Each structure stands twice: as C-alpha cells, then as structure tokens.
Structure 1
C-alpha cells in the first residue's frame, strides 16, 4: 500500500455542523508511504474516529477513503484481515490489551499471527523501553504508561506500509517518548513505512514531513 486517501471524508455525527475548519475533514488529502505526519487535534474533533475509519472498525462517515485508489467500503473481510496483518499497524489510544494476559502474551498474540519478529527482538525492545521486568506481569497490573509501551511493541510485530499511532505518549515521560520515537523511526525506515501520529498536545518527537490540524 502506497497511499491512503481521504476524499471529502467527514464523520456522520459532524454532518450538521457548519464552518468545520480542518486540514483533514471534508477535504481531499493523502498520506504517502515513507512520510511522517502529525495530526494535531482538540478533544471531540474526531481523532479516534479517524483511526477507526482507516482501520475499518467503523463506517459511520461520509465521503470516501481509499487504499491505493480502492474504496475501503468494498474490501472483503479477508482483505481487511490481510491489510491489518501485512500493511497497517495500529496503536489505539485505548490500547486494547488483554488485562488477564502478561505483557509477552499480549505481544505474542500479534507476533504469532505474523511471525514477523524474533523473540529476542521483542526482548530488546522491552529492555530499551524500560519494561523488561514486566515481561511476565499481567497487563492489568501495569501502569497505563507501561501498557502503552507494551502495545507499541505489539504494533511493531508485523510488516507495515503505514504505522498509525493515536496519542502514543500521553502517559509517558519525555525520556521514554524519545526512545519510542527512535525505535519507530528505525523500524519505519527499515520497512519504508509511513507514520501517522495523532496528538491533543504532547506528541511523539519525530521530524514530521507535514503537520495537520484536525
């Protein structure tokens, strides 16, 4: 996948609003593979909705979203499965970890499907992110910031044309944010992937090609 394009896309709940000012909503714009984008947003402007639209979890929007020119509304369940497995890595704001599973078990759920990363690579990322001691700890017993780092590693355990991260550093200190940014930059460069990050204030410190206002 080389291009994600939005054509006059707008959440249906916004349809009755006048004077929407946005670089994304109700415009024609595209995300290109290999580029880095920051989407700055205020609460209630549809940031998490955008993530769900692009990932195919929700379809309650007007307009068109395309992957390399193909309308995503026409994708089959199998096509969506392949895209989520091979092309689109997503870190949701709410993380979607299983609290009863350990950090490693949560990561292995993804890596077992893709077979993308060696176990030692995952351990190295845990070490760099300061959560090596949480390997066998259940997610429910971890802080939110620790869970964010686990979910981040899980996202990396797949091939990707785009990485989409929704407020990935909201509960991290600057040091861990810098480490996450470095790992993401390295992995995106290795795969030639695009990076799309959302923020309502604190954002992942990367050299963005474009900063958009939602």
Structure 2
C-alpha cells in the first residue's frame, strides 16, 4: 500500500544543507499498522508529509497503491489525497463554522464518495449521536479528535496517516481515542502509519520503527 525506496530529504539552513532523511526504505501492507517513533526533530513529520504527497523527496521513490508520487503533478497528488488518503493531526483542524455532521461529511463529499449508512455508523461509533448539530467548540478535546478521525475515515481511505493523534489529550482520552482509531482502521482494512513519541501509544500497533539520524531501525512492537 505504501512503499518508500531510498528516500532522501534535506533542508537549506544558513549553515548549509541539513540532511533529515538518508536513504529511507519503508513498506506498509494493506490492513497493517505501523508506529513511527523518534526524537523531536528527527524527521518523523517530514517523512509523513512526504508519504502524503505534501512535499517531494530530493531522491528516491514513494508509491501509494502502486502509484509513483513523482509521476503525479500537484493536482493529481491532491486528488489522490482526497480519494485514497486519510490525514489526522495533533491539532484537530476542524472547520469551526461547520456543524459536527458537516465536518464529518466534508472529505467524503469533496471526493463524491459519501455513504449515508457509513456516516451514520461513524456517528454512533464516535460517540457523537445527538451531537450532530453542535459546533466543534462545543465538544471536548477527545470528542474533537474522534470527529477528526471520523472525517478522515468517512471516505474509506486505503491509507491513514496520523501525526501524534493523541498528543493533545489526557491519558484517559488518549486511550479512548487510540482504541477507537484502531477499531475503525480494522473495520475499513486501511493501512495505518502513525507518528508518536509514546511507546505506550505505539504498543498496540503491528510494527514499530524508530527514526534516528536519518535512518530507520526496526524494533519489536
């Protein structure tokens, strides 16, 4: 589902080029979940942004479901994100002027893939039944993150990319959100790549890799 081969990425600084990723090889199969860990500034979010087609590598190839992102222009990569990817971030990025139900439907409607039955199922599974007509600011942090996860999964993506999805939550809310995320990922059979700084959050996932000095190291999950 996701394949990175010999991916390199560096950024320009006043002191010169700063290498961040040095020959990254990574594969993720359909239905597989992978935790990506590493110290702050190690390049975890950079790798995730490259996998989402939000940035391009200096060298190497990135393929999603066999499509090489380097062969797609900006518009085609945006279409791929809309139809094939789900994105969840530490910040919820909900639309404050839209009600809960409209936030949930947003990506699926943009992709013209809304399924009312699946939407109703998600509302129930997210624990937001009866809250469809309220606005995000009227929800708790945990509820907002659950809604953000539901929005990403409403399109039934092939690949879900999550960047510290529980980072803004207290421990109890984080456990609830993580459990729900993994259950819904299992229902949709999408692949999951999740960036986290927490070994506790990484533990339930199928595999764990650690990014260190621009290289990936496999570790026991």
- TM class, shorter-chain normalised? 0.7 to 0.9
Q: Retained in 2: the 8 A contact 1:161–1:193?
A: yes
TM-superposition CA deviations, 1:95-143 (whole Å, max 9, x none): 322122222221121232321353421320332xxx5565333234545
1:59 Cα shift? 2.2
TM-score by length of 2: 0.76
SS at match of 1:114: coil
Give the 3 Å change call, closer, same or farther, for CA 80–6 of structure 1 in structure 2.
same
TM-superposition CA deviations, 1:72-115 (whole Å, max 9, x none): 02124564344324322111233322122222221121232321
Point out where structure 2 has 5 or more consecutive residues left out of the alignment. Answer: 212-221
1:55 Cα shift? 1.4
Distance 1:52 1:110 in 2: 18
SS at match of 1:196: strand
1:162 Cα shift? 1.7
1:40 Cα shift? 0.8
SS at match of 1:186: helix
TM-score by length of 1: 0.78
Give the aligned partner of residue 42 of structure 1: 39
Distance 2:200 2:101 in 1: 26
Distance 2:166 2:108 in 1: 23
Give the aligned partner of residue 177 of structure 1: 174
Give the aligned partner of residue 216 of structure 2: none
Give the aligned partner of residue 115 of structure 2: 116
Superposed counterparts of 1:133-152, under 5 Å: 134-140=131-137, 142-152=139-149
Distance 1:12 1:25 in 2: 9
Distance 1:190 1:145 in 2: 21
Point out where structure 1 has 5 or more consecutive residues left out of the alignment. Answer: none
Distance 1:152 1:28 in 2: 27
Superposed counterparts of 1:33-182, under 5 Å: 33-59=30-56, 61-76=58-73, 79-112=76-109, 113-118=112-117, 119-127=119-127, 131-132=128-129, 134-140=131-137, 142-182=139-179
Normalized per residue, which structure has more strand?
Answer: 2
**Equivalent residues, number:** 205
* RMSD of aligned Cα (Å): 2.9
